[in-house]
Structures are given as C-alpha cells and as structure tokens.
Amino acid sequence: MLRYFIVMCIPWIFLLGAESLIFDPKKTYVVDFFASWCSSCEKEIPILSKVNAQMKDSNVVFIGVDVDKDKAEAVKFQAKMEKHFTFKVVNDQSNAIINEFKPIGMPAVYVIKNQKVCNKIFGASADFEKKLIQKIEECL
C-alpha cells in the first residue's frame, strides 16, 4: 500500500517544491521556459500567446516559466511583455523546475499530457508557430 502511494506521488513531488506547477491529468499543457536574456524566447512569446488564443476553447493550458535568477530582471521583462502574457507565468528563480526538465537549449517548450512529456521543442525556429501547433496536435 505504501509503495503504491509513493509511486502515485512521484509525478507531483518535483512540482510542489517551487512556485506551484500542478498538472491535471485530464488536460494537455504547453510549458514554455524563457528568460529575459534569451532573445529567441522574447520572439516566441507573442507566438505562444497567439496559439493560446487560437486554442482557447480546447483542453490545452499554456504556462510560462521564467527562469531568470535575478528577480528584478524577471519583473522588468514580464512587465515589458505583459500584453503577450495571456497565460499563467511562474517564476523559477531557484531553477528547481527547469532542473527537472533539463532542456538542451533555450527557449524550451514542452507539451505535457497525462503528467508526462509528450513532445518538446528546443531552440529558435523560423517556423515556430507551425511546429508548435503540430506538436500540440500530436498530443491531443
């Protein structure tokens, strides 16, 4: 019984340590890791906002994770991009969340379904919008 309880808790444990990121198994999540110093991340945020608006009626939830270690920089960047943040933004100054995902490049976008990573996009891409929609649709 205890073993079953521990196994069931594993997907939730790493998400509870930082500013909360809890995944509902019934929904599909798009998690975007960005930082103020990453120019490609800045370019991709309006696209994520656009796709988020397109998928408003679907079961897809967008979450932004700001990995800036400097809180002042994070606040400044989020204020600058405020109109594009039509989705929830979580601050990960301790890098606890991103250390669990360990992306190979920034920006990093993960599509999560059933509390598991279904698809991921790393780095800058010219056809990011098309790629993002395709990766989300593959997981629906």
Partner 1 sequence: MTKFLVAVMVVISFFSGCGENVQPWEKDVLASDFMQESPNKLIKKFHDHTYYSKEATKAGTSISGGGCGCN
- Which of these ranges, 20-28, 48-56, 66-74, 113-121, lies near partner 1 under the rule CB under 8 A? 66-74
Tokens found for residue 126: 């010219």
Asked whether position 21 contacts partner 1 by CB under 8 A, the answer is no
- The sign of the dihedral angle between the CA atoms of 80, 83, 84, 90 is positive
Give the type of residue at 36.
S
Least separation in angstroms between CB 69 and partner 1: 7
117 is an interface residue for partner 1 by CB under 8 A: no
Q: Does 74 bind partner 1 (CB under 8 A)?
A: no
CB atoms within 10 A of CB 68: 21
Provide φ and ψ at 86, rounded to 5°: -90, 5
Q: Which residues bind partner 1 (CB under 8 A)?
A: 33, 35-41, 67-70, 95, 98, 102-108, 123-124
